[in-house]
Structure 1
Amino acid sequence: MTTLSSKFIISAISQHLLLKPKISIMPSFLITGASRGLGYAWVKHLSTDSNNIVIGLVRNKPATEERLAADNITNVHLVTADITDFSALQEAASLVSGITSGRLDVLINNAALVSSPISRFGSVTELSPEVLEKEFLETFKTNVIGVAHTINAFLPLIRKGDLKKVVTVSSGLADQDIVVRFGLSTSTPYSVAKAGVNMLMAKYHTAVGEAEGITFMAISPGVVQTRKPEQTPDHIKGRQIKESKFREYAPDWKGPVTAEESVKLQYDVVQKATVDTYGGSFVSQYGNKQWL
């Protein structure tokens, strides 16, 4: 028979357990292509929260270390790998596992190869056979196959993570309806590769995402100014034509945003993303189909 005293003790213990704060594991993030542009902005943004374990995947580690030091960022880990080299990615995954105790919460596939000026401002009909083949092969190898290699290398760690999110940075130029509606005929190899990686995310969702509770998604960062634009007459003309198309789509568009501004928007979308809401989808930095 339980006495009044023992009831009091049990009640006190229960209250103590309820009030005791839960021990949470620090969320871990891996960003590919973290040495510059959007990738570096992701690293910089995530590092502002000391609760995060932030890891950048780079090809040039010394240069990235110098940049981090110049920005007084001391809580970022760097690992080296080219995303087109699966063996290097496996080695990187082993190093990341050591940093994160065998798990990974969020993988941001940011590393990508953009179009050369020739295809960036010219249509597919203006490319020589040699340039066409070279650019299609190179962009697809990096932007699709490289992403698949990266996901496969780090998927065992994602499966052990708490948040379980795989996010690939894509482009609004991969939206077929927008391309047709506004006559966006340039950046063909890049756009086609990004359309391919959007489908890749849908395939991962159907293969493992839905069944295992892993959110696979693609997100457009918007039009981002990641480097100083070249000022040759051809480059200026090409940008003006492309930007006129953008303003036709979004009359109130103010022009390119900074990498930091884009990442803040993307982060908000990624943070709220779940398998049910965004699994296998391709959305904008606003979490919808508004690309600008």
Structure 2
Amino acid sequence: MATDKTIVLVTGANSGIGLETVIHLSKSSPNYHIILCSRSQEKGEKALSSIQSAHGSSLQSPISVLQLDVTSAESIAAAKSHLDSTFSGHLDVLVQNAGVMPYQPLRDNSALTSFRETFETNVFGAAMLTDALAPLLQKSAEARIIYVSSGLGSITLRLDPGDEWRAIQGTIYRSSKAALDMLAACHRVEFAGWGCKVCAFNPGFCVTNLSGEEGRKRRVEMGARPASDAGRVLVDVISGKRDADVAKNGMVDVDGGVLPW
């Protein structure tokens, strides 16, 4: 199916920041086709139904659901096949939002498992998905890849005694996001030749279920901002309104400017 709409694929979009990005992007313009990706088809369909029920009259761009587990090579291949058949192998914007956040301390017996599971989703899955979809993005005149990272992945800020998040340990999560930032930096250099804009994005401390329902409750208690804040800003990154920051070396920050790597 050929289309003149900008095709945007958002991973991990059945909840949290991904879901809010889909909602606000659809509301912002009729010029997109948004692919809401979820590891579970059922959860993806449920998310779309809730979007349509709550925002139906204000939605402008169409939204479709695609089952995608970034840790599965078979799922990634199936997603690419779907894009090939449904959108003539074309993709304009890839928002790599899928992620997990473990709470196990390094001395816990399950630490190695947590390291592997976290990197499988936050780093390896993101890398494999980009590798699979890069040929589709190359067909776009305005290709973008946005890696939803975290200020906790900044090595510079981790070593800053004055950083407001210095007391937060989270070694496994921090390490995975630092690795994701390097992936973004490498793709930024490697894909510049065909005009793809690549950036990492810091959404700030948001209320999400990244670490489960208990983690979501803790975030609320700690005064985390609503995920919709990050979703709105991601729409600006997708639409090009933050291109001045994307052009800088660093992580595009939800509150303006960039954070250091």
Residue among 89, 107, 121 paired with 1:142: 121
SS of corresponding position for 2:101: coil
Residue 224 of structure 1: CA displacement? 0.4
Distance 1:63 1:42 in 2: 16
Partner of 2:18 in structure 1? 39
Partner of 2:42 in structure 1? 62
Deviations 1:233-290 (A, max 9, x none): xx96x998xx6xxxxxxxxxxx421111211122223432559943764221134236
SS of corresponding position for 2:128: helix
One-letter identity of the residue aligned with 1:65: E
User: How many percent identity over aligned positions?
Assistant: 27
Contact 2:95 2:145 in 1 (8 A): yes
- Structure 1: gaps of 5 or more residues: 1-23, 244-254
Deviations 1:167-187 (A, max 9, x none): 010001111232232333411
Contact 2:149 2:181 in 1 (8 A): yes
One-letter identity of the residue aligned with 1:220: N
Residue 42 of structure 1: CA displacement? 1.4
Q: Which deviates further from its counterpart, 161-170 or 270-279?
A: 270-279
Distance 1:263 1:69 in 2: 19
SS of corresponding position for 1:160: coil
- 1:194-273 to 2 correspondence within 5 Å? 194-207=177-190, 209-227=191-209, 230=214, 255-272=223-240, 273=242
Contact 2:10 2:35 in 1 (8 A): yes
**Runs of at least 4 residues off by over 6 Å:** none
Contact 2:151 2:202 in 1 (8 A): yes
Deviations 1:42-100 (A, max 9, x none): 11122223321010121211232123223325831111121011222121011123332
Q: Which deviates further from its counterpart, 130-139 or 165-174?
A: 130-139
One-letter identity of the residue aligned with 1:194: K
- Structure 2: gaps of 5 or more residues: none
Partner of 1:7 in structure 2? none
Question: TM-score, length-normalised on structure 2?
Answer: 0.82
Contact 1:266 1:286 in 2 (8 A): no
Contact 2:37 2:44 in 1 (8 A): no
Distance 1:39 1:172 in 2: 18
One-letter identity of the residue aligned with 1:87: E
Number of aligned residue pairs = 242
Contact 1:204 1:280 in 2 (8 A): no
Cα separation, partners in 2 of 1:290 and 1:197, compared to 1, 3 Å: closer
One-letter identity of the residue aligned with 1:215: K
Max Rg structure: 1
SS of corresponding position for 2:258: coil
Distance 2:243 2:256 in 1: 12
Distance 1:43 1:239 in 2: 22
Distance 2:254 2:82 in 1: 31
Cα separation, partners in 2 of 1:280 and 1:199, compared to 1, 3 Å: farther
- 1:164-203 to 2 correspondence within 5 Å? 164-180=143-159, 181=161, 182=163, 183-203=166-186
Deviations 1:158-213 (A, max 9, x none): 10113200001000111123223233341110110000010011111222x21111
Question: TM-score, length-normalised on structure 1?
Answer: 0.74
